[in-house]
Structure 1
Protein backbone atom coordinates (compact mmCIF):
# COMPACT_ATOMS: atom_id res chain seq x y z
CA UNK A 1 0.00 0.00 0.00
CA UNK A 2 2.91 2.30 -0.75
CA UNK A 3 0.56 4.70 -2.57
CA UNK A 4 1.61 8.36 -2.05
CA UNK A 5 -2.03 9.54 -2.32
CA UNK A 6 -3.12 7.08 0.35
CA UNK A 7 -0.31 8.12 2.67
CA UNK A 8 -1.03 11.82 2.04
CA UNK A 9 -4.68 11.29 3.00
CA UNK A 10 -3.69 9.85 6.38
CA UNK A 11 -0.93 12.44 6.92
CA UNK A 12 -3.54 15.17 6.41
CA UNK A 13 -5.97 13.54 8.83
CA UNK A 14 -3.32 13.21 11.55
CA UNK A 15 -2.01 16.73 10.98
CA UNK A 16 -5.52 18.13 11.45
CA UNK A 17 -6.33 16.05 14.55
CA UNK A 18 -6.69 18.39 17.52
CA UNK A 19 -6.30 15.82 20.27
CA UNK A 20 -5.37 12.26 21.01
CA UNK A 21 -8.42 9.99 20.73
CA UNK A 22 -9.33 7.54 23.48
CA UNK A 23 -7.99 3.99 23.25
CA UNK A 24 -10.41 1.59 21.59
CA UNK A 25 -13.00 0.04 23.85
CA UNK A 26 -11.97 -3.55 23.16
CA UNK A 27 -8.68 -2.71 24.85
CA UNK A 28 -9.79 -0.31 27.58
CA UNK A 29 -12.73 -2.54 28.60
CA UNK A 30 -10.55 -5.67 28.73
CA UNK A 31 -7.34 -4.45 30.37
CA UNK A 32 -7.58 -7.32 32.83
CA UNK A 33 -6.68 -9.69 29.95
CA UNK A 34 -3.30 -8.04 29.31
CA UNK A 35 -0.17 -9.83 30.49
CA UNK A 36 1.83 -8.10 33.24
CA UNK A 37 4.98 -8.06 31.07
CA UNK A 38 6.04 -8.65 27.49
CA UNK A 39 6.04 -6.98 24.11
CA UNK A 40 3.07 -5.34 22.42
CA UNK A 41 2.27 -4.05 18.94
CA UNK A 42 -0.25 -1.33 18.09
CA UNK A 43 -0.88 -2.10 14.41
CA UNK A 44 -2.03 0.81 12.24
CA UNK A 45 -1.57 2.91 15.36
CA UNK A 46 -2.63 6.34 14.12
CA UNK A 47 -1.83 8.85 16.85
CA UNK A 48 -1.08 5.99 19.23
CA UNK A 49 -3.70 6.07 21.97
CA UNK A 50 -3.58 2.27 22.24
CA UNK A 51 0.23 2.21 22.22
CA UNK A 52 0.36 4.78 25.01
CA UNK A 53 -2.04 2.73 27.11
CA UNK A 54 0.03 -0.42 26.53
CA UNK A 55 3.31 1.33 27.40
CA UNK A 56 1.68 2.81 30.49
CA UNK A 57 0.84 -0.73 31.59
CA UNK A 58 4.53 -1.67 31.48
CA UNK A 59 4.63 -3.48 28.14
CA UNK A 60 7.52 -2.90 25.73
CA UNK A 61 5.46 -1.31 22.98
CA UNK A 62 5.93 -0.94 19.25
CA UNK A 63 3.56 1.14 17.13
CA UNK A 64 3.39 0.93 13.35
CA UNK A 65 1.59 3.16 10.90
CA UNK A 66 2.00 4.03 7.25
CA UNK A 67 1.75 7.76 8.06
CA UNK A 68 4.99 9.56 9.01
CA UNK A 69 2.88 12.33 10.58
CA UNK A 70 1.12 9.82 12.84
CA UNK A 71 4.42 8.39 14.06
CA UNK A 72 5.91 11.85 14.63
CA UNK A 73 2.90 12.95 16.68
CA UNK A 74 2.87 9.65 18.61
CA UNK A 75 6.49 10.25 19.61
CA UNK A 76 5.51 13.71 20.90
CA UNK A 77 2.57 12.33 22.88
CA UNK A 78 4.77 9.58 24.37
CA UNK A 79 7.54 12.00 25.29
CA UNK A 80 5.09 14.38 26.96
CA UNK A 81 3.86 11.48 29.12
CA UNK A 82 7.31 10.11 29.92
CA UNK A 83 6.55 6.85 28.09
CA UNK A 84 8.71 4.85 25.71
CA UNK A 85 6.97 3.72 22.53
CA UNK A 86 8.99 2.49 19.57
CA UNK A 87 7.15 4.11 16.66
CA UNK A 88 7.89 3.02 13.11
CA UNK A 89 6.63 4.12 9.71
CA UNK A 90 5.78 0.74 8.24
CA UNK A 91 3.60 -0.70 5.51
CA UNK A 92 2.35 -3.75 7.36
CA UNK A 93 0.96 -5.30 4.18
CA UNK A 94 4.45 -5.33 2.66
CA UNK A 95 6.23 -6.10 5.95
CA UNK A 96 3.97 -7.96 8.39
CA UNK A 97 5.22 -8.83 11.87
CA UNK A 98 7.58 -11.75 12.22
CA UNK A 99 6.32 -15.05 13.67
CA UNK A 100 6.18 -15.29 17.47
CA UNK A 101 7.34 -11.71 17.98
CA UNK A 102 4.62 -10.25 20.26
CA UNK A 103 2.76 -11.08 23.45
CA UNK A 104 -0.02 -8.59 22.59
CA UNK A 105 -1.26 -7.24 19.27
CA UNK A 106 -3.89 -4.50 19.05
CA UNK A 107 -5.54 -3.76 15.70
CA UNK A 108 -8.18 -1.07 15.57
CA UNK A 109 -10.09 0.40 12.64
CA UNK A 110 -7.77 -1.49 10.31
CA UNK A 111 -8.89 -4.31 8.04
CA UNK A 112 -6.64 -6.24 5.71
CA UNK A 113 -8.11 -9.72 5.68
CA UNK A 114 -5.03 -11.30 4.11
CA UNK A 115 -2.96 -10.36 7.18
CA UNK A 116 -4.98 -12.51 9.59
CA UNK A 117 -2.66 -15.56 9.30
CA UNK A 118 0.44 -13.38 9.81
CA UNK A 119 -1.10 -11.71 12.87
CA UNK A 120 -1.97 -15.04 14.44
CA UNK A 121 1.54 -16.34 13.70
CA UNK A 122 3.08 -13.15 15.16
CA UNK A 123 1.61 -13.95 18.58
CA UNK A 124 3.84 -15.88 20.91
CA UNK A 125 2.22 -18.90 22.61
CA UNK A 126 -0.06 -17.39 25.26
CA UNK A 127 -0.21 -14.10 23.32
CA UNK A 128 -3.42 -12.10 23.09
CA UNK A 129 -5.00 -10.32 20.12
CA UNK A 130 -7.30 -7.32 20.70
CA UNK A 131 -9.22 -6.40 17.53
CA UNK A 132 -11.92 -3.80 16.89
CA UNK A 133 -13.16 -2.54 13.55
CA UNK A 134 -16.18 -1.49 11.52
CA UNK A 135 -19.02 -3.76 10.38
CA UNK A 136 -21.28 -3.66 7.35
CA UNK A 137 -24.33 -4.13 9.55
CA UNK A 138 -24.64 -0.75 11.23
CA UNK A 139 -27.05 1.87 12.48
CA UNK A 140 -25.44 4.92 10.81
CA UNK A 141 -22.73 5.88 8.32
CA UNK A 142 -19.80 6.40 10.68
CA UNK A 143 -16.65 4.65 9.57
CA UNK A 144 -15.32 3.90 6.10
CA UNK A 145 -17.55 4.40 3.06
CA UNK A 146 -16.20 1.33 1.28
CA UNK A 147 -17.77 -1.99 2.22
CA UNK A 148 -14.35 -3.58 1.58
CA UNK A 149 -13.13 -2.02 4.84
CA UNK A 150 -16.08 -3.34 6.84
CA UNK A 151 -16.64 -6.80 8.27
CA UNK A 152 -19.52 -9.05 7.36
CA UNK A 153 -21.61 -10.58 10.15
CA UNK A 154 -19.38 -12.75 12.38
CA UNK A 155 -16.50 -12.35 9.92
CA UNK A 156 -14.04 -11.35 12.66
CA UNK A 157 -14.75 -14.65 14.41
CA UNK A 158 -14.01 -16.53 11.20
CA UNK A 159 -10.81 -14.64 10.40
CA UNK A 160 -9.25 -15.59 13.74
CA UNK A 161 -10.99 -18.93 14.34
CA UNK A 162 -7.80 -20.88 15.18
CA UNK A 163 -7.30 -18.69 18.26
CA UNK A 164 -9.10 -19.34 21.55
CA UNK A 165 -11.92 -16.84 21.97
CA UNK A 166 -11.85 -14.82 25.20
CA UNK A 167 -14.32 -12.05 24.34
CA UNK A 168 -16.51 -11.12 21.37
CA UNK A 169 -19.10 -8.40 20.78
CA UNK A 170 -21.04 -7.56 17.64
CA UNK A 171 -24.58 -6.29 18.16
CA UNK A 172 -25.57 -5.38 14.62
CA UNK A 173 -29.13 -4.08 14.34
CA UNK A 174 -30.77 -6.16 17.08
CA UNK A 175 -32.98 -4.65 19.77
CA UNK A 176 -32.99 -0.99 20.85
CA UNK A 177 -30.73 0.63 18.22
CA UNK A 178 -30.27 3.75 20.35
CA UNK A 179 -28.31 1.73 22.94
CA UNK A 180 -25.42 -0.68 23.06
CA UNK A 181 -22.28 -1.08 20.98
CA UNK A 182 -23.11 -0.55 17.32
CA UNK A 183 -21.32 -0.33 13.95
CA UNK A 184 -18.29 -2.38 15.05
CA UNK A 185 -17.13 -5.82 16.13
CA UNK A 186 -14.71 -6.54 18.97
CA UNK A 187 -12.62 -9.63 19.59
CA UNK A 188 -10.09 -10.67 22.20
CA UNK A 189 -8.46 -14.02 21.45
CA UNK A 190 -5.56 -16.06 22.76
CA UNK A 191 -2.93 -18.11 20.99
CA UNK A 192 -2.98 -21.19 23.21
CA UNK A 193 0.23 -21.91 25.11
CA UNK A 194 2.09 -24.86 23.64
Structure 2
Protein backbone atom coordinates (compact mmCIF):
# COMPACT_ATOMS: atom_id res chain seq x y z
CA UNK A 1 0.00 0.00 0.00
CA UNK A 2 1.43 3.39 -0.96
CA UNK A 3 1.58 6.41 1.36
CA UNK A 4 -1.50 7.99 -0.22
CA UNK A 5 -3.60 4.85 0.24
CA UNK A 6 -2.52 4.78 3.90
CA UNK A 7 -3.43 8.44 4.34
CA UNK A 8 -6.94 8.00 2.88
CA UNK A 9 -7.77 4.59 4.37
CA UNK A 10 -9.27 5.88 7.60
CA UNK A 11 -11.11 8.86 6.12
CA UNK A 12 -14.73 9.16 7.19
CA UNK A 13 -15.50 12.35 5.25
CA UNK A 14 -14.13 14.13 2.17
CA UNK A 15 -12.99 17.24 4.03
CA UNK A 16 -13.52 20.70 2.60
CA UNK A 17 -13.01 22.04 -0.89
CA UNK A 18 -9.98 24.23 -1.49
CA UNK A 19 -10.34 27.88 -0.58
CA UNK A 20 -9.73 29.09 -4.13
CA UNK A 21 -12.66 27.14 -5.55
CA UNK A 22 -15.02 27.66 -2.62
CA UNK A 23 -14.56 31.44 -2.67
CA UNK A 24 -14.87 31.81 -6.44
CA UNK A 25 -17.87 29.69 -7.40
CA UNK A 26 -19.21 32.68 -9.32
CA UNK A 27 -16.53 32.04 -11.98
CA UNK A 28 -17.85 28.55 -12.79
CA UNK A 29 -19.87 28.00 -15.94
CA UNK A 30 -23.58 27.23 -15.48
CA UNK A 31 -23.08 23.76 -16.98
CA UNK A 32 -20.36 21.59 -18.43
CA UNK A 33 -17.73 19.00 -17.57
CA UNK A 34 -15.29 19.40 -14.70
CA UNK A 35 -12.20 17.52 -13.55
CA UNK A 36 -10.83 17.36 -10.01
CA UNK A 37 -7.23 16.41 -10.84
CA UNK A 38 -5.22 14.66 -8.09
CA UNK A 39 -8.54 14.69 -6.24
CA UNK A 40 -7.62 13.07 -2.94
CA UNK A 41 -10.91 12.43 -1.14
CA UNK A 42 -12.88 14.45 -3.69
CA UNK A 43 -14.03 17.51 -1.75
CA UNK A 44 -13.55 19.70 -4.82
CA UNK A 45 -15.34 17.18 -7.02
CA UNK A 46 -18.32 17.10 -4.67
CA UNK A 47 -18.55 20.89 -4.62
CA UNK A 48 -18.37 21.03 -8.41
CA UNK A 49 -21.14 18.42 -8.62
CA UNK A 50 -23.29 20.48 -6.24
CA UNK A 51 -22.89 23.39 -8.67
CA UNK A 52 -24.52 21.32 -11.43
CA UNK A 53 -21.42 20.25 -13.34
CA UNK A 54 -20.72 16.75 -14.63
CA UNK A 55 -17.60 15.79 -12.69
CA UNK A 56 -14.68 13.39 -12.98
CA UNK A 57 -12.17 12.84 -10.17
CA UNK A 58 -8.72 11.40 -10.89
CA UNK A 59 -6.07 10.30 -8.40
CA UNK A 60 -3.18 7.82 -8.15
CA UNK A 61 -4.54 6.33 -4.94
CA UNK A 62 -6.95 3.40 -5.21
CA UNK A 63 -8.11 4.16 -1.68
CA UNK A 64 -8.87 7.80 -2.55
CA UNK A 65 -10.89 6.72 -5.58
CA UNK A 66 -12.80 4.21 -3.45
CA UNK A 67 -13.64 6.97 -0.96
CA UNK A 68 -14.70 9.41 -3.70
CA UNK A 69 -17.10 6.78 -5.02
CA UNK A 70 -18.54 6.30 -1.52
CA UNK A 71 -18.81 10.00 -0.69
CA UNK A 72 -20.36 10.92 -4.04
CA UNK A 73 -22.81 7.97 -4.14
CA UNK A 74 -21.87 7.47 -7.78
CA UNK A 75 -22.50 11.08 -8.84
CA UNK A 76 -18.81 11.65 -9.63
CA UNK A 77 -17.02 9.50 -12.21
CA UNK A 78 -13.68 8.49 -10.76
CA UNK A 79 -10.51 7.11 -12.29
CA UNK A 80 -7.33 5.80 -10.73
CA UNK A 81 -4.43 7.14 -12.76
CA UNK A 82 -0.81 7.85 -11.86
CA UNK A 83 -0.38 11.23 -13.51
CA UNK A 84 3.38 11.10 -13.12
CA UNK A 85 3.94 7.82 -14.95
CA UNK A 86 1.11 7.69 -17.50
CA UNK A 87 0.15 10.39 -19.96
CA UNK A 88 -3.51 11.08 -19.26
CA UNK A 89 -5.96 10.71 -22.13
CA UNK A 90 -6.68 13.98 -23.88
CA UNK A 91 -10.26 14.61 -22.94
CA UNK A 92 -11.77 18.07 -22.65
CA UNK A 93 -13.25 19.89 -19.70
CA UNK A 94 -14.91 23.23 -19.02
CA UNK A 95 -13.34 23.37 -15.53
CA UNK A 96 -10.19 21.80 -14.11
CA UNK A 97 -9.34 22.07 -10.41
CA UNK A 98 -5.92 21.20 -9.00
CA UNK A 99 -5.26 21.63 -5.28
CA UNK A 100 -2.19 20.74 -3.23
CA UNK A 101 -0.46 19.05 -6.17
CA UNK A 102 2.39 20.12 -8.43
CA UNK A 103 3.79 18.11 -11.31
CA UNK A 104 5.13 20.61 -13.81
CA UNK A 105 5.20 18.28 -16.87
CA UNK A 106 1.40 18.01 -16.58
CA UNK A 107 0.80 21.73 -17.10
CA UNK A 108 0.85 21.51 -20.91
CA UNK A 109 -1.71 18.69 -20.78
CA UNK A 110 -3.94 20.78 -18.48
CA UNK A 111 -3.93 23.69 -20.94
CA UNK A 112 -4.74 21.33 -23.80
CA UNK A 113 -7.52 19.61 -21.87
CA UNK A 114 -9.43 22.84 -21.25
CA UNK A 115 -12.19 23.64 -23.72
CA UNK A 116 -12.14 27.14 -25.23
CA UNK A 117 -13.51 29.40 -22.49
CA UNK A 118 -12.67 26.73 -19.89
CA UNK A 119 -11.47 27.76 -16.44
CA UNK A 120 -8.55 26.44 -14.39
CA UNK A 121 -8.51 26.71 -10.59
CA UNK A 122 -5.00 25.92 -9.32
CA UNK A 123 -3.88 26.16 -5.69
CA UNK A 124 -0.72 24.63 -4.29
CA UNK A 125 2.19 25.12 -1.89
CA UNK A 126 5.00 27.58 -2.61
CA UNK A 127 8.58 28.01 -1.43
CA UNK A 128 7.77 31.09 0.67
CA UNK A 129 5.21 29.28 2.81
CA UNK A 130 5.20 30.37 6.42
CA UNK A 131 4.09 27.15 8.08
CA UNK A 132 5.50 23.63 8.10
CA UNK A 133 2.38 22.26 6.39
CA UNK A 134 2.69 20.61 3.01
CA UNK A 135 5.78 19.25 1.32
CA UNK A 136 9.33 20.34 2.08
CA UNK A 137 10.82 18.98 -1.16
CA UNK A 138 11.36 21.95 -3.52
CA UNK A 139 10.25 19.79 -6.46
CA UNK A 140 6.71 20.11 -5.06
CA UNK A 141 6.85 23.80 -4.16
CA UNK A 142 6.24 26.72 -6.48
CA UNK A 143 9.02 29.26 -6.91
CA UNK A 144 7.99 32.91 -6.53
CA UNK A 145 5.58 33.87 -9.35
CA UNK A 146 6.12 30.48 -11.04
CA UNK A 147 2.42 29.68 -11.19
CA UNK A 148 1.98 32.63 -13.56
CA UNK A 149 4.47 31.08 -16.00
CA UNK A 150 3.20 27.49 -16.00
CA UNK A 151 0.09 28.26 -18.07
CA UNK A 152 1.22 30.78 -20.71
CA UNK A 153 -1.73 30.22 -23.05
CA UNK A 154 -4.38 31.02 -20.45
CA UNK A 155 -5.72 34.43 -19.43
CA UNK A 156 -5.27 35.23 -15.74
CA UNK A 157 -8.52 36.00 -13.93
CA UNK A 158 -7.18 35.86 -10.36
CA UNK A 159 -3.75 35.43 -8.80
CA UNK A 160 -2.59 35.42 -5.20
CA UNK A 161 0.78 34.72 -3.63
CA UNK A 162 1.44 36.53 -0.38
CA UNK A 163 4.52 34.69 0.90
CA UNK A 164 6.48 36.75 3.41
CA UNK A 165 5.05 40.19 2.57
CA UNK A 166 3.49 42.35 5.30
CA UNK A 167 1.73 41.09 8.43
CA UNK A 168 2.59 37.38 8.51
CA UNK A 169 -0.17 36.62 11.01
CA UNK A 170 -2.85 37.33 8.40
CA UNK A 171 -3.72 36.18 4.92
CA UNK A 172 -3.07 33.11 2.77
CA UNK A 173 0.64 32.56 3.35
CA UNK A 174 1.38 29.03 2.18
CA UNK A 175 -0.27 28.81 -1.22
CA UNK A 176 0.03 30.19 -4.68
CA UNK A 177 -3.44 30.53 -6.23
CA UNK A 178 -4.41 31.00 -9.86
CA UNK A 179 -7.67 31.15 -11.75
CA UNK A 180 -7.06 31.30 -15.49
CA UNK A 181 -9.26 30.93 -18.55
CA UNK A 182 -8.54 29.48 -21.97
CA UNK A 183 -9.37 32.04 -24.65
CA UNK A 184 -12.58 31.34 -26.56
CA UNK A 185 -12.28 30.61 -30.25
Normalised TM-score (structure 2): 0.96
The ranges of structure 1 where at least 4 consecutive aligned residues each deviate by more than 6 angstroms after the TM superposition are none
Shift of 1:141: 1.1
Residue 38 of structure 2 corresponds to: 44
Q: Which runs of 5+ in 2 are unaligned?
A: none
Deviation sequence 1:145-188 (CA, Å, 0-9, x none) = 21110000000001012200000010010011000011111000
In structure 1, distance between residues paired with 2:3 and 2:37: 18
Question: What secondary structure does 1:176 align onto?
Answer: coil
Aligned to 2:142: 151
How far the C-alpha of 1:19 sits from its partner, in A, is: 3.1
In the alignment, the residues of structure 2 paired with residue 138 and residue 39 of structure 1 have an alpha-carbon distance, to the nearest angstrom, of 32
Q: Is the 8 A contact 1:97 1:118 kept in 2?
A: no
Q: Could you tell me how far 1:138 is from its partner in structure 2?
A: 1.5
User: How many residues align structurally?
Assistant: 184
1:23 and 2:1 matched: no
Q: Give structure 1 stretches of 5+ with no counterpart.
A: 1-6
Contact 2:13 2:71 (C-alpha < 8 Å) held by counterparts: no
Query: Which residue of 2 is the match for residue 112 of structure 1?
Result: 103
Q: Does residue 71 of structure 2 align to residue 96 of structure 1?
A: no
In structure 2, how many angstroms separate the alpha carbons of the residues matched to 1:17 and 1:174? Answer: 35
How far did residue 97 of structure 1 move? Answer: 4.2
Match of 1:34 among 28, 38, 49: 28
How much does 1:22 deviate?
Answer: 0.7
User: What is the aligned-residue RMSD (CA, Å)?
Assistant: 1.2
Q: Which moved more, 1:83-92 or 1:157-166?
A: 83-92
- Alpha-carbon distance between aligned partners in 1 of 2:50 and 2:89, rounded to the nearest angstrom: 22
Distance in 1 (CA, whole Å) between partners of 2:62 and 2:139 is 25
Distance 2:88 2:123 in 1: 18
